[in-house]
Amino acid sequence: MRSKIVAGNWKMNKNLVEAKALASEIVNIARDELKDDVKLVVCPPFISLSAVSSILGDTQNVFLGAQNCNDNKAGAYTGEISVDMLTSVCASFVIIGHSERREYFGETDDFLAKKVDTVLAASITPIFCCGEPLEIREAETQYKYVTDQITASLFHLNEEQIKKIVIAYEPIWAIGTGKTASAEQAQQMHAEIRKHLASKYGESVASEISILYGGSCKASNAKEIFSGEDVDGGLIGGASLVAREFVDIAKSF
């Protein structure tokens, strides 16, 4: 059975003091209210990973993730963070290929393929992001666009490796805009992604891969979006910055 996951991408928000407060609040609410079959992941900025890791401690259902990492193992890459550094603070997830990184930092499909390899080699779970811009949706070529992204960055992996990937479908037109994909649009795309995975790896492997939805997801619309049979959770931006809202999204299952 694939995991249900709700991950919070804090992006470039919350300083160290604020990050510690938010993490503590999430842990306290999740401990009391969250069912064991849903995994929460919090992805604070690098500078707060270590402190947030201590706050999570041995909490069972809240995991630590990073928002990025370098594709090299180590070396002269000023300002960068390696997978080994993420492991050293007990981060078990890392977001790869977010549309903001593709757009503002020029991350390409080929580059992301290499980054996925580096992350898997460190036994960290990549949350691999894909999603189309508005003009592609309007041209109705979104399925090809997204499945091409997956082919280019993930289809060199073998069966054991692909099973370790979490995919996040984030339509760019829905990110931070308040304009959510409808539950039907989300389910349709997730089903296409799963079909695409099955065409390469078979139905059984494809059925084990969690596919999350991201883009203006909040407590008030999560239940409907998560009702799609191929929607296994969410990658949450703005709404993950409020502990009550974030845990309530996870409680929508």
Instruction: Decide: 35 and 60 in contact? Cβ < 8 Å.
Output: no
The residue within the footprint of ligand 13P, chosen from 132, 170, 230, 232 (CB under 6 A), is 170
Give yes or no: 98 in active site. yes
The site that binds ligand 13P (CB under 6 A) totals a number of residues, namely 14
Residues in contact with 223: Cβ distance below 8 Å, sequence separation at least 6, in sequence order: 252
The distance of closest approach from Cβ of residue 42 to ligand 13P in the complex, given in angstroms and rounded to an integer, is 12
Does position 171 bind ligand 13P by CB under 6 A? no
State whether the Cα torsion 163-235-22-24 is positive or negative: negative
Q: What SS3 state is found at 167?
A: strand
Does position 97 bind ligand 13P by CB under 6 A? no
Does position 235 bind ligand 13P by CB under 6 A? yes
Give yes or no: 190 in active site. no
The distance of closest approach from Cβ of residue 212 to ligand 13P in the complex, given in angstroms and rounded to an integer, is 9
Does position 9 bind ligand 13P by CB under 6 A? yes
Task: Give the type of residue at 31.
Answer: R
Does position 252 bind ligand 13P by CB under 6 A? no
Catalytic residue of the set 170, 190, 192, 196: 170
DSSP string, 168-183: EE--GGGTTSS-PPPH
Task: Give the type of residue at 108.
Answer: T
User: What is the rounded CA–CA span in Å between residue 63 and residue 40?
Assistant: 6
Other CB atoms within 10 A of residue 216 CB: 21
Does position 65 bind ligand 13P by CB under 6 A? no
Report 187-216 residues binding ligand 13P (CB under 6 A).
214-216
Does position 236 bind ligand 13P by CB under 6 A? yes
In 3D, which of 217, 227, 161 has the Cα closest to residue 9? 217
Q: Active-site residues: which are they? A: 98, 170
Q: Which residues bind ligand 13P (CB under 6 A)?
A: 9, 98, 170, 175-176, 214-217, 235-239
